[in-house]
Structure 1
Amino acid sequence: MLSRRFLLSALAIAASLTASAAAVAAEKVTIMVGGYEKQIYLPAKLTERLGYFKDEGLDVELLNQPAGVDAELQMLAGAVDGVVGFYDHCVDLQTKGKFVQSIVQFSQAPGEVILVSTKHPQLKSMADMKGKTVGVTGLGSSTNFLTLALAARANVPVGDFTTLPVGAGTTFIAAMQQDKIQAGMTTEPTISRMVKTGEAKVLVDMRTVEKTKAALGGTYPAASLYMDAAWINSHKETAQKLANAFVKTMKYINTHTGAEIADKMPPEFYVGDKEGYIKALDDGKAMFTPDGVMPAGGPETVLAVLSGFSKNMKGKTVDLSKTYTSEFVKRAK
C-alpha cells in the first residue's frame, strides 16, 4: 500500500508540473498604455486586476507611457504588440501608409477637458487662445489633435497659439502652476485635482457623449486597444483572447459602481483622494462602451475632425473600414 507521504509527494510534483505547463502555455503579449493611471485607459489595468487576461491563458505585460504618440511609435518599431490609446491614431497613421486597427473600442467620448488656469479669467472660450500656450501630453498625441481641432472650430488658426507637451498628472499641474501653460487638455484624475484646489476650471468638457457632440459635432470614439493589422492577421487566436478579456471588463464597468471599480485599482491611482477618484468615475464612466463595439458614425466624426486641421489629410483618402474591426468583440459577446 502506498504511503501517505509518497502520495502527497506525487500530488505535489503533479501540481508543480501542471503549473509549469500552464506557465509555458500562457501567451506573452506586451501592451503599452498611454498613461495607465488615467481613467480613460482604466480598462487596461482593471482587466489585469480582475484576472481576465489569465483566464484567457494570456501573460499580458502592461507598460506605461505618458503620451499616446510615444506608445504608437513603440508599436510601429515592433517593441510592443499593441497600444491602449486613442482610435484617431489609426486614422492618422493610414495617411502615412501604416495600417493599424482598433480591435476593442473602450470609449465613445474622449474623457478629456480643456482646463484653463484661474490666473487667466479673461480666457472664456477657445477663441481666446490666440497668443497663448496650451498644454498637451505630447506633440502628435490625441490631446494635440483635439486641441487643434477645437481651436479650428473656434476660428483660431494653428499658428496663432502654441501647444506645449507637458505630459499628464503632476507634470501638467506643475506647468499650469508655473504659468508655462495658460490652458491645457487633460483627463481624470488630474481634472478633479485642479478643480478641487481652485487652480483651474473646465473650459471645454468632452467627458460625455452629449458634451462631445456639442464640442466636436459628433460621437468621438477614443480609448481603444489598437494593433498593427499584419499582427492581428497573424495572431487571430491571441487577438480573440484579448477581446474576450476586455469585453468582460467593459461589462464589469457597465454593471458596477465607481466605488466597486475603484476598489479593484491600485491605491496609488487615487493620488491621495479616493473619494474624488470615485466621484470622477461615477460621473464619467458613461463614456465607456458597454461591449467594446465601435459606435456607429464615430469613425466618420474622427475623420472629419482630423481633416479640419491636419496637413497629413490633405489630398489623402482614408478607408475607415480598415481602421477598426468589430469581428473579435462581436464573437466575444
Structure 2
Amino acid sequence: MRKLLAVAGILAIALTGCRGTSPDDAGSGAAPATVKIMVGGIDKVIYLPAKLTEQLGGFRAEGLDVQLLTEPSGATAENVLIAGDVQGVVGFYDHTVDLQSKGKCITSVVQMADVPGEVEIVAAAQAASLRGPADFRGRKLGVTSPGSSTDFLTQYLATKAGLTGADYTTVKAGAGQTFIAALDNGGIDAGMTTDPTAAKLVSTGKGKVLLDMRTEAGTEAALGGLYPASSLYMDCAWVQDHRDQVQKLANALVKTLRWIKGHSAAEIAAKMPREYAAGDPQLYAQAVHDSIGMFNGDGLMKPDGARNVLDVLSQFSPNVKGKKDQIDLAKTYTTAFVAKVPA
C-alpha cells in the first residue's frame, strides 16, 4: 500500500509539472512557456521594441518566458533560426523573402517598421567629395556583413546611381565600435549603420549623414518606396503549431509599439538597460529620438512595402535573382495575429 501511495504521489508531481509548462496555464501561477528569440544586434535602436517589451514586462504579462539572445547581424541570426536553436528572430523582413528562395518557409508575424532605420554615414574627411551614391565609385563601403540587408541596400543605391559592383568595394564593418573604428581608421570611406552608432559618429564629428532612411520621406527619396524592415519572423510550421504563443508574442510587441507612440524619446531611453547608453544617457536618448519615428505603432505589414522589398532582392540577392515570379509574398508575412491584438 505504501508503494502504491508513493507511486501515486510521484505521478501527481509529474502531472503538476507538465501542467506548469503549458502556455494555456500561463498567467495563472504556472511556469510560463519559454520562447527563444535571436536579435540581430540587441542594442541597435532599430530592434529596440524587443528589449523594451521585456523591460516593460510585456512578455510576462502575456504568460511567456521570452529569452532574448543576440548576434551581430541579421544574416547570422537567421542561420540560428534555420538550425532550430531559437523559435524566432527579430531582424529585417527581407530575410523571409531570401529564405523562401532557398525553399524555407519563414514568415513575419509582427512587422515593427516600414523603413530600414539605416543611415549611410560618410567619414568627415571624405564628406566634401562623397556627397551621394554617384560618388561611390572607387570607394570602400561598409556593410554589416556579406548577404546582409545593408549589403543589398548598398548595392541598390549604387545601381540606382548608375554604378556596378565593380565600381566600389564592400567591406564587412559590423556595427558599434567595429564600424566606428573602420570609419575612423580609413578601413571604409562610408557605410550603412544604425543608431546609436550613427549618433556617436555624428556627435564626435567623425561622420556625417549622407542618406537617412530612418523616416518614410528619407526612405522614399533613397529607395523610391517603403522598405519594411524590423520584424519578428518565425518558421511557418512553428507558427502553425504554436498559434497561442505567437498570439501572445504579437500582443506583447504591438502593445509596446503603441506605448512607444505615446512616450517621448527620453522616457523610452530611460526604460532601456543602463549599459545601452554606454556612459552617455543624453547621447543615447538622442539616438532614440532620431530613429524612433521608424516604428509603425500597429505591427502591420504594408503590402506595397513587401513588393518593394521583393523588387530590390530580385535584383541584388544571388538567391532571389531569376526567381521573382516564384516567390509567394503571402507566405512571407501574416497580419492574422496583430489583427487580433486587443485594442
Provide the TM-score with structure 1 as the length reference: 0.91
Alignment gaps of 5+ in structure 2: 1-15, 21-25
Shift of 1:61: 0.4
8 A contact 1:33–1:65 mirrored in 2: yes
The answer to whether 1:247 aligns with 2:259 is no
Partner of 1:258: 265
Cα deviation, residue 304, structure 1: 1.2
Match of 2:115 in 1: 109
Tell me how far apart the structure 2 counterparts of residues 136 and 166 of structure 1 sit (CA, whole Å): 6
Shift of the alpha carbon at 1:159? 2.5
What displacement does 1:154 show? 1.1
1:122 alignment partner, SS class: coil
TM-score of the two chains, using structure 2 as the length reference? 0.89
The answer for the alignment partner of 2:327 in structure 1 is 318
Identity of aligned residues (%): 54
1:160-213, CA deviations, whole angstroms, 9 ceiling, x for partnerless residues? 222111211111001111111111100001111101111111111101011101
Contact 1:152–1:309 at 8 Å: present in 2 too?
no
Q: Does 1:178 align with 2:181?
A: no
| Residue number among 18, 36, 54 corresponding to 1:48 in the alignment | 54
2-structure distance, mates of 1:159, 1:227 = 35
Q: CA–CA distance in 1 between the matches of 2:82 and 2:267?
A: 36
Q: What is residue 8 of structure 1 aligned with on the other side?
A: none
Structure 1 residue 131 displacement after superposition: 2.1
SS of 1:211's partner is: helix
AA aligned to 2:161 is A
* Aligned residue identity for 1:214: A
Structure 1: stretches of 5+ with no match in the other structure: 1-16
Aligned residue for 1:101, secondary structure, equals strand
Between the two proteins, the alignment pairs up a number of residues equal to: 316
Deviation at 1:299, TM superposition (A): 0.2
Matches of 1:197 and 1:287, distance apart in 2: 24
Question: 1: distance between equivalents of 2:290 and 2:83?
Answer: 37
The aligned counterpart of 2:225 is: 218
Matched with 2:138 is 131
Give the letter aligned to residue 130 of structure 2: L
Aligned to 2:211: 204
Match for residue 337 of structure 2 among 321, 328, 331: 328
Cα displacement (A) at 1:24:
5.3
Aligned 8 A contact 1:152 1:308 in 2: no
Classify 1:138/1:24 alpha carbon distance in 2 versus 1 (closer, same or farther; 3 Å): farther
AA matched with 1:106: M
Post-superposition shift, 1:84?
Answer: 0.2
> Which residue does the alignment assign to 1:83?
89
Q: Which residue among 148, 159, 164 is the counterpart of 2:166?
A: 159
